[in-house]
Structure 1
Amino acid sequence: MKFPILTISLIVTFIPFSLLSNTATSTPVYDVDGEPLIPEIGYYILPLIRGSGGGVELYYNGSCPYYIAQAFSEVDYGFPVHFHPVNPDEGTIPLSTDLNIDFYDIITVCQQSVWQLSDPEGDSGSRYVRVGRVLENPGEETVNRWFKIETHPRGDYKLVFCPTVCETCRPVCGDIGLLSQGDSRLLGLSDEPYRVVFKRKED
């Protein structure tokens, strides 16, 4: 009689832990109006600190692919993006989940819109956020196209590159910040995270 009682107690103990774990991983990201981010809806990625520049836009340096930069003026929202979580059944965009980011409703010379992290570039070995073509299809060949939204220690949001879509890959991990490139501020891996908020694009 003791064995069944022990089994039941283990099950009762395990279920709440499992539910708590699932709840923690499903915490949604919220926009500036307090609404959860929704897949396939357009959002502007804006700086948390007012007066520090505008939203994100494409930067063309004369050849493909485009880089991603911050607009100089705070009244310039830049280009809206879509978020695509790795689980297509998600109804909202969760924190700390692999996702694709892509610009939409834009036509460029390169015909590319999906965010991806570059290989090390130049003498500094900096890694920038550029654009490519492949959406979703998680795995080794697309591992550089998966980002995450995380909370900043001060309670707001930051973008992170640390994909987990490939079990055998060992990608570099880091915060996405702003890197000076001439007169431009390009997005790339940085020790100083770019603190952001999300504003839904009006229909």
Structure 2
Amino acid sequence: MKSTSLFAIFLLCAFTSYLPSATAQDVLDVDGDPIRNGFIYYVLPAIRGNGGGIERAALGKDTCPITVVQSPNPNSKGLEIKFESAYPAYYINETLILQIKFSYPQQCERKNPWWAISKDISEGPPAIKLSGFHGTELGWFKIQKASKSCDSNDYKLVFCQYDETWCLDVGIYVDRQGNRRLVLAVTGEPFLVHFHKISSSTA
């Protein structure tokens, strides 16, 4: 109960401290439509060929599939992903702070399986994992355009500490087993993505 109350207080502080900019650009899906707050999408690579959509896997010390990875199958759409902000905006723009989760939880997951980062760097750069498990730390995500070109719908995910002391792009790290983990891109390039409506074609 105490942790729930603290989380609610934190969301209230975030709501009043990180209001989205009225001039920020909306994030667009591949059809050119704004991404809607609280809706679900497939997230696919902007550059096809090395893998497919985003899914989860049990890697390393995981006892449950809690590591966020890119599917090794370039034809896979991955899992449905929900983007949600505590701020009651109808559309998601590039300054809006978000939480992200897979649309459907697994039995081994906690009740609030938002994406977080792992503080364990023994297996590589800090990985994106599901929260509620040992060694994970929550924060905010943002979606930002990867190019200033108006013709491009290429975006990158950005992870920030709660107080936004620092923010880092989300990239791909290929481990020794060939798994394509989503990680904080400390030195590498960001993972460029497109957003597809669940009902739209991903071809």
Matches within 5 A, 1:35-114: 35-61=33-59, 62-64=62-64, 66-87=66-87, 89-111=88-110, 113-114=113-114
Counterpart-to-counterpart distance in 1, 2:38 and 2:156: 20
Q: Which runs of 5+ in 1 are unaligned?
A: 1-20, 135-141
2:32 alignment counterpart: 34
2:157 alignment counterpart: 159
Larger Rg: 1
| Preserved contact between residue 139 and residue 160 of structure 2 (Cα < 8 Å) | no
Q: Secondary structure of 1:23's partner? A: coil
Q: Secondary structure of 1:75's partner? A: coil
Percent identity of equivalent pairs: 30
| Preserved contact between residue 44 and residue 195 of structure 2 (Cα < 8 Å) | yes
Query: Higher helix proportion, which one?
Result: 1
| Preserved contact between residue 80 and residue 198 of structure 2 (Cα < 8 Å) | yes
The 1:82/1:92 distance shift into structure 2, 3 A limit, reads same
Once the two structures are TM-superposed, the CA of residue 202 in structure 1 deviates from its matched residue by 2.0
Once the two structures are TM-superposed, the CA of residue 75 in structure 1 deviates from its matched residue by 1.5
Q: Secondary structure of 2:171's partner? A: strand
Counterpart-to-counterpart distance in 1, 2:93 and 2:129: 23
CA deviation digits over 1:123-175, x for unaligned, max 9?
75x200000259xxxxxxx9723111011136421001124x43xx73x4211
Once the two structures are TM-superposed, the CA of residue 82 in structure 1 deviates from its matched residue by 0.8
Matches within 5 A, 1:112-151: 113-122=113-122, 124=124, 126-133=125-132, 144-151=138-145
The 1:65/1:79 distance shift into structure 2, 3 A limit, reads closer
Once the two structures are TM-superposed, the CA of residue 96 in structure 1 deviates from its matched residue by 2.5
| Preserved contact between residue 114 and residue 145 of structure 1 (Cα < 8 Å) | no
State the one-letter code of the partner of 1:185.
R
| Preserved contact between residue 104 and residue 113 of structure 1 (Cα < 8 Å) | no
TM-score, length-normalised on structure 2? 0.74
| Preserved contact between residue 45 and residue 196 of structure 1 (Cα < 8 Å) | yes
Of residues 179, 184, 188, the one that matches 2:183 is 188
TM-score, length-normalised on structure 1? 0.74
Counterpart-to-counterpart distance in 1, 2:103 and 2:139: 16
CA RMSD of aligned residues (A): 2.6
